[in-house]
Amino acid sequence: MLIWAIIATIVSVITVSIFIAYRRQVKNTCRHLAFMKKNKTNLRLRSGLPFRELYELSDNVNELLDNSDELRHKAEHNEQNLKDAITNISHDIRTPLTSLDGFFQLLKNADSEEERTQCVDVIQNRINNLKYMLEELFTYTKLQNEDYKLQTEPIDIVRCVSSTLVSFYNEFQEKGIEVQVDFTDEEIVVDCNAEGLQRIVQNVLKNVIDHGSKTVEMTLKQENERVIFSCSNKVDNPDSIDISQIFTRFYKSDPARTHSSTGLGLAIAKGLAERMNGDMTAEVQGEWFKVEIRFKKFEIY
């Protein structure tokens, strides 16, 4: 009987000790969680007892903390992006608005019909720039909606790209940019949205007008089942282009932001291409900046 009493006593002591240790561990865990709740810290839970369930509990809580930190960092990053976006938009819109105000004052005080005509032309140009900026912002916003879809249909991509290029003829002439074109003569059909495809080409060409110099080379061809439109233009400062940011919203290689654009053109072009099951890439080769847009050829049976 004495032996059993001793054994029972030892078991009781061990059980009480384990219980006390568990309580101490729970209190420490609660204290650590309370500290982490009030402070930004990389502190993580550790189990002071060699029990599998406590290790599992610590690992699961630490995983939740890691996920929470990741979400917080993303939220902070998105908040900073939003602030930057608002700053960029404010700058881009304020510039033509300030110019409009100045030319309206000149128009009011103009002494001749020639001066008034010049002021009206400039004012109309600034209004068009504002309309373009707002349309870019509206389109970019729509592309951020995952449910936004484009209605597609079989389109002759050669005809669509060619007609869009012709509409930029005067702007290339005024900028002194030589245009070299190598388009296939055959009809190539792709499953696209006509307005979306036209918008892609317009944004690429406008980027050439704003940032290109001397020469632009364009090709449109078919390789196996892919249709490829490429546009390469010479640039004065190729080292200033951060190719990793080319399709990032509001990115401009011109730090002075001297061009009347939102920095959304290529981001929108890439977004539209992807919504039509295509893709778009960019690279810098020496003094040339090149974008390439690819679609799958539509087979007509």
Residue 271 in any domain: the answer is: yes
Rounded CA gap, 250 and 105, in Å? 31
Report the relative pairing of strands 189-192 and 226-234 from DSSP bridges: unpaired
DSSP tag of 168: T
Where does the pLDDT of residue 251 fall: very low under 50, low under 70, confident under 90, or very high at 90 and above? low
185 lies in which domain range?
153-296
187 close to 157: Cβ distance less than 8 angstroms:
no
Residue 119 in any domain: the answer is: yes
Residue 230 in any domain: the answer is: yes
What's the confidence (pLDDT) of residue 1? 66
What's the confidence (pLDDT) of residue 293? 92
160 close to 201: Cβ distance less than 8 angstroms:
yes
Q: Could you give the count of Cα atoms lying within 13 Å of 60 in the half-sphere of its Cβ? A: 6
| pLDDT at residue 85 is higher than 70 | no
Segment 50-80, tens digit of pLDDT: 667 777 777 777 788 788 888 888 888 777 7
Rounded CA gap, 44 and 81, in Å? 29
Q: Clarify whether residues 130 and 195 are in a common domain.
A: no
Q: Clarify whether residues 98 and 182 are in a common domain.
A: no
Residue after which a domain boundary falls, among 44, 73, 102:
73
Segment 16-44, tens digit of pLDDT: 666 677 677 777 777 777 777 777 777 77
Average pLDDT rounded to a whole number, residues 152-177: 87
The alpha helices in the chain, defined as continuous H runs, are 2-38, 52-108, 113-143, 157-166, 169-175, 194-211, 265-275
Q: Which amino acid is at 81?
A: N
Q: Clarify whether residues 112 and 178 are in a common domain.
A: no
Q: Clarify whether residues 205 and 228 are in a common domain.
A: yes
Q: Clarify whether residues 163 and 291 are in a common domain.
A: yes
Rounded CA gap, 184 and 57, in Å? 65
Q: Both tokens of residue 132?
A: 């373009």
CATH of the domain at 197: 3.30.565.10
Average pLDDT rounded to a whole number, residues 129-150: 78
Segment 173-200, tens digit of pLDDT: 888 888 888 888 888 888 888 888 999 9
